[in-house]
Amino acid sequence: MASPILPSLGLGSGLDTTAIVKALVDAEKTPKQGQLDRRTSANTASISAVGSLKSALAAYKTALGKLNDSANPAFIGSTAASSNDKYVKATAGSAAVNGNYSIQVSQLATASRVASQRFTDANSVVSASGGTLTLTQNGVNVDVNLPANATLQQTRDAINAQATAKGFTANIVNDGTGSRLVLSSETMGKGSDISVSGALTIDPTAQMSDAGGAGRVGDLAKGAEFEIDGMKLTSKSNKVDNAISGMTFELLSKTETLSPVAITVTANTDGLKKSVQSFVDAYNALVGAINTVSVSTKAADGSWKSPALAGDPAVRSMLTSLRNELVVPGTNGSGQLSVLSQLGINTVQGTGLLEFDSTKFTKAITEQKLGGEVQNLFNGDGGLLDRMTKAMEPFTASGGVLDERSKSLEVAKKRLDLEQSSLDARIKDLEASLTKKYNNMDTVVGQLNAQRDSVLSIFEAMAAQKKNS
């Protein structure tokens, strides 16, 4: 007779125990994994956003540093051009006045150069007892200590080691009949001749002789002699920075056989415009980076997308610090130029970016004669670039706001990694436990099914025997 039996879909119970275990494990893991994934994703986005801010701030600081470089100033109001820069070069500073100048150079400044008496070679002993060698220039003494039995070469090395910082240089020159110690100096100008006493004696008023005597090499040190617009002037060096206010001249060669060198000073409109644009670009790049990681945007479907640092107080503080410096009136210079809007630089509402009106800028430089004031507004202590750099220091400094934020996010990341490892281990144990239980169940059901089949066979045999009898 027919008897109800369990579905036989496989071994034992015939159930898909693998699917059952997976469903149970997923039911346990999915909500916890989803929460952990969301937290991990937010942490990763925040780490990336802070890293982007740090990179943007570093680039901004570098850009401001280049614009605020005192050795190579960017915001010079005037520019100088020489008709022959092989003879005279000219540089205009912030105080330069537009105009034309005529320069004649009759004598270049020279430095002192002296030589010792002639020795056999570089290994000749200069001083058996050693002691002190004194170099004197412009009334200032520089002592060089020599070892006992100091050779000419050791004397040279001692001078270069102990007196180079004072502007002296020593070398050994072989003239074919012997070797001399030759000393030179960076200092130029009349009266700056070097004298030597102590282990060696060199008198610069005496000429070095072919017979081997010590003395100066060539002429005594000289000062530069030149004329500016017919006015005779002198200088201790060939770099002249006090003859005309705001101007620096570099005298390179005598002009006795030439027409005077013409120097023309004009407004540096193009150079200033380029520098101002560089500042605007650097500022906008930083603000753009800040907006990217902190300002929510509206998608085409009307939904809003919030970046990792939306509403972050540190970011708001950074933007406030930047914007505050833009509106601080400049205090340097004559006071004619005090705010950026006078140069055509204004803030765009909504984005916080700067826009640069080059037409208004050119008008301010050419018509209002503000070119000489631009450097005072941007450069130097208390200038806009200096103030903005200092305003960002709390965020860019080692151990500052962003460094601390990075550290806390990295700590959170490690904690999330531990939570993920813990969840993975727990789920692995659960899967193993459930798999074992269902395997055991499957085995028991299989045994029961086998017993059932055996009993049914007996009854079926008994029924068949009875029918046949």
Give domain limits for the chain. 1-76+271-469, 78-108+224-267, 111-216
Residue written as token pair 């151990």: 399
What long-range pairs does 400-404 form, CB within 8 A, spacing at least 24?
Answer: 401/314, 401/317, 401/318, 402/50, 402/53, 402/54, 402/57, 402/314
pLDDT of 8 over the 50 cut: no
pLDDT of 215 over the 50 cut: yes
- pLDDT confidence of residue 333: 53
- Report the side by side order of strands in the sheet with 99-107: 78-82, 261-267, 99-107, 224-228, 231-235
pLDDT of 346 over the 90 cut: yes
Residue written as token pair 């036989």: 8
- pLDDT confidence of residue 1: 36
Which one, of 188, 252, 193, 187, lies nearest residue 226 by Cα? 252
The model's pTM: 0.68
Q: Express as a percent the part of the chain with pLDDT over 70.
A: 96
345 CB-side CA count, 13 A: 23
Q: How confident is the model at residue 157 (pLDDT cuts 50, 70, 90)?
A: very high
pLDDT of 368 over the 80 cut: no
The angle that helices 401-468 and 384-396 make with each other, rounded to 10 degrees, is 40
The angle that helices 384-396 and 17-67 make with each other, rounded to 10 degrees, is 150
**Class (C level, CATH) for 111-216:** alpha beta
Cite the beta strand spans of 93-167 per DSSP E. Answer: 99-107, 111-115, 125-127, 131-137, 140-146, 150-151
- pLDDT confidence of residue 314: 87
Q: State the maximum Cα–Cα separation within the chain, in Å, rounded to a whole number.
A: 156
CA distances from 121 to 18, 171, 201, 208 (A): 97, 13, 18, 18
Average pLDDT, the chain: 89
Structure token pair of residue 96 = 């330069």
Q: How confident is the model at residue 60 (pLDDT cuts 50, 70, 90)?
A: very high
Q: How confident is the model at residue 7 (pLDDT cuts 50, 70, 90)?
A: very low
